[in-house]
């Protein structure tokens, strides 16, 4: 991987909350290449959401540095290099679907015509035609999350950060949105960092899976996923898929975290 192709480069990153308090992350090294889809997986409390926030400059690391497109994370945030999708859709109740998607564009100072044009493309991308004038509370949970994804992608950020975006959805909606996310990823060529506690979701979506363990939070293994692209509904039935799921599961266990893992799986 050449330097120009590296979107995220984390070096010896650690994070301690409070004075001498909880160590959330320790000694994190991670390189994410352009166009990669990388999942962070681990039990609850392993710091995967914290790592995502550190990369997104929403939480400051205690030590180490994060470079995004060769810039400090703070600079990258000011340059609007991040699109973020949270577990909750975090849509503004008082804005319609199109107005929600246009929010970052307004902040970037795009004029009305340019905004309308881009929002139309985004609505098409996430297949919400006909719902433009609806308010968020008139949409199902899955549709809300699609609006949230459209909003994150509207200004073509270099990096899409997703924090358990489908964690609150039912299994069927989740699998459908997984497919949609892969289609969007392929169409836009974005780089994605995706936090999840579902092993099968991580394997299905990713080009690489970073396995984390808790107390202190660190990356214990990175599993490359060599399943062919594009992934389809049949991908989940391929023997190779099960092998990779097993490998990720064993890596999680190797972290000595059976207890925490049981807890994480109970959440699935």
Q: Which residues in this chain contact other proteins in the complex, by CB under 8 A?
A: 56, 58, 77-80, 82-84, 86, 88, 90, 92-94, 103-104, 106-107, 129-135, 137-140, 143, 161
- Taking the least distance from each CB to other proteins, the nearer of 49 and 213 is 49
State in angstroms the smallest separation of the CB of 141 from other proteins. 9
- Taking the least distance from each CB to other proteins, the nearer of 106 and 171 is 106
- Taking the least distance from each CB to other proteins, the nearer of 93 and 226 is 93
Adjacency order of strands within the sheet including 208-213: 82-85, 159-163, 191-196, 37-41, 208-213, 218-224
State in angstroms the smallest separation of the CB of 205 from other proteins. 21
Give the span between the Cα atoms of 156 and 4, in whole angstroms: 18
State in angstroms the smallest separation of the CB of 45 from other proteins. 19
State in angstroms the smallest separation of the CB of 227 from other proteins. 31
Helix pair 112-125, 171-188: axis angle to 10 deg: 130
Judged by DSSP in three states, 20 sits in coil
Tell me the CA distances in angstroms from 246 to 180, 210, 254, one per residue in order: 25, 14, 12
* Selection from 192, 152, 201 nearest residue 173 by Cα: 201
State the DSSP H helix or E strand holding residue 250, giving kind and residue range, or none if neither. Answer: helix 239-254
- Taking the least distance from each CB to other proteins, the nearer of 140 and 246 is 140
State in angstroms the smallest separation of the CB of 47 from other proteins. 17
Give the span between the Cα atoms of 221 and 202, in whole angstroms: 14
State in angstroms the smallest separation of the CB of 157 from other proteins. 9
- Taking the least distance from each CB to other proteins, the nearer of 37 and 131 is 131
DSSP string covering 43-91, please? STTSSHHHHHHHHTTSS--SEEEEEETTEEHHHHHHTT-EEEE-SS---
- Taking the least distance from each CB to other proteins, the nearer of 157 and 255 is 157
- Taking the least distance from each CB to other proteins, the nearer of 89 and 260 is 89
Q: Are strands 82-85 and 159-163 parallel, antiparallel or unpaired?
A: parallel
DSSP string covering 234-246, please? GGGGSHHHHHHHH
- Taking the least distance from each CB to other proteins, the nearer of 92 and 242 is 92
State in angstroms the smallest separation of the CB of 37 from other proteins. 20
Write out the two tokens for 78.
């000011």
Give the span between the Cα atoms of 185 and 150, in whole angstroms: 12
State in angstroms the smallest separation of the CB of 94 from other proteins. 5
């Amino acid at each position: 991987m050449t330097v120009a192709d590296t979107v995220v480069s984390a070096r010896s990153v650690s994070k301690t909350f409070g004075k001498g308090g909880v160590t959330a992350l320790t000694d994190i090294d991670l390189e994410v290449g352009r166009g990669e889809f990388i999942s962070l997986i681990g039990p609850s409390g392993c710091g995967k959401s914290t790592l995502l926030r550190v990369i997104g400059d929403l939480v400051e690391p205690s030590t180490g540095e994060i470079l995004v497109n060769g810039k400090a994370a703070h600079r990258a945030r000011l340059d609007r290099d991040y699109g973020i999708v949270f577990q909750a859709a975090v849509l503004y109740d008082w804005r319609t679907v199109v107005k929600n998607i246009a929010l970052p564009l307004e902040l970037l100072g795009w004029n009305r015509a340019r905004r309308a044009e881009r929002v139309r493309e985004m609505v098409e991308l996430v297949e919400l035609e006909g719902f433009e004038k609806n308010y968020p509370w008139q949409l199902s949970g899955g549709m809300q999350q699609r609006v949230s994804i459209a909003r994150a992608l509207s200004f073509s950020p270099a990096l899409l950060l997703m924090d358990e975006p489908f964690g609150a959805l039912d299994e069927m909606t989740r699998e459908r949105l997984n497919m949609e996310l892969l289609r969007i990823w392929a169409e836009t060529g974005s780089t994605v960092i995706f936090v999840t506690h579902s092993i099968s979701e991580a394997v299905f979506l990713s080009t690489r899976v970073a396995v984390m363990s808790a107390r202190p939070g660190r990356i214990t293994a990175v599993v490359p996923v060599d399943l062919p692209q594009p992934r389809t509904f049949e991908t989940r039935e391929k023997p190779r898929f099960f092998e990779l799921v097993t490998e990720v599961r064993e890596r999680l266990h190797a972290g000595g975290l059976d207890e925490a893992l049981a807890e994480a799986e109970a959440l699935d």
